[in-house]
Chains A and B, each alone.
Chain A
Amino acid sequence: MFQRSIPLFIVLFTALLLIVAFFIPHKPFGDLESRFLNWYAIISGFTFLLGLDSLTRHHLLKVIRREKGWFYSLLLVLSLFATLTVGLYSWVKFSSPFALRAPFMWLYKYMIIPLQATMFATLAFFIFSAAYRAFRIRNLGATLLLIAACLVMLGNVPLGSSIWQRISQLVHLVFPNTRLDLLYQIELFAQIKDWLMAIPQAAAGRGIGIGLALGGIAMSLRIILGIERTYLSS
């Protein structure tokens, strides 16, 4: 019984304290909020240790049991501890692993940056191919999405301006009375992109944001009131 009721009571009590501290930012409640924030930061720090433990345990077990892909797990564990060792050495020797002459920064500049950048850059190829295959005008919604995507892509890069300049020259050729400099200034693709981003896209984003916030409040209330108990594994 206490296994459940004590954690539930701690959650309710802490939540009430935090709510009071938020609305009454004076002593002693104001200090309380500050103290809780410090605890939060300390606990967040310790979650790294938990992650380190979980990651190492998972991959070492894989190596010991010679499961599929064990070699990659071994590489991961070795890299993890090599990075940790280099980082600690840099910390001791240079006061910070991020000091420019520290060995950790060498590892960072010549291993971590290129590896992460490569991973991210490779994604562009997959997205490109996937967009070509999946973006089909099967119905009105898909057609509108495709047109909007193309306009945003055009408006977002100088290519859109170049195309618009050619269109302006063509218009000027057909209607010589139109002023070319004014036509250039219109920058139609960029204007459409700005409008799409600022109005329809932002409206949808705002709707999703409000939905998320309401969902967050509802979930928080459920946790505070003990209705939602999944964190207790029940």
Chain B
Amino acid sequence: MLPSQSDVSRRVRSRRRPACRTWINRMLSGVVIGIMTSAIASAAPVSDHLDLAQYRGQVVIVDFWASWCKPCRESIPWLNELRARYAAHGLVVIGVNVDAERSDAEEFLREVPIDFEVVFDPQGELAKRFDLQGMPTSLVFDRAGNLVETRLGFRQAMKAKHEASLKNLLNNTGH
């Protein structure tokens, strides 16, 4: 599917940016992923495209996960917790599932419920666009829509540090 021009929003700042930040440009110009539309057995809203422009002004965590990813069984409950704690302060969490088989993802969700929005990416197009270096990967965007952090892997030992940096981003209401 072609990027939707109507999703183009505010222009990014003109000063020179590191390569990773051009990804948000692509996102802002609209990455539309054609996905299956069947409903899943989960309370979380299902989406068939990822459009971050609508979350401008909020802090967004995009987490790539899969049913076969062992650390995801721990990272997802933690993201559920963060969302419960900080949604009112402007946190949005979006999960991107990269399972090739939708049924594998559904089985995982029966064991590990997800309280945030899930986007399905079975062909790995989103994963490719963000050039994921490993699984799981969490992308953190600040209120201005800039990609500020790419977290590779999940470790219990890093939870406190990640939460602290998240609070910082949430406190930063200006740009």
A binds B: no
- B residues sitting closer than 8 Å to A (CB atoms) are none
- A residues sitting closer than 8 Å to B (CB atoms) are none
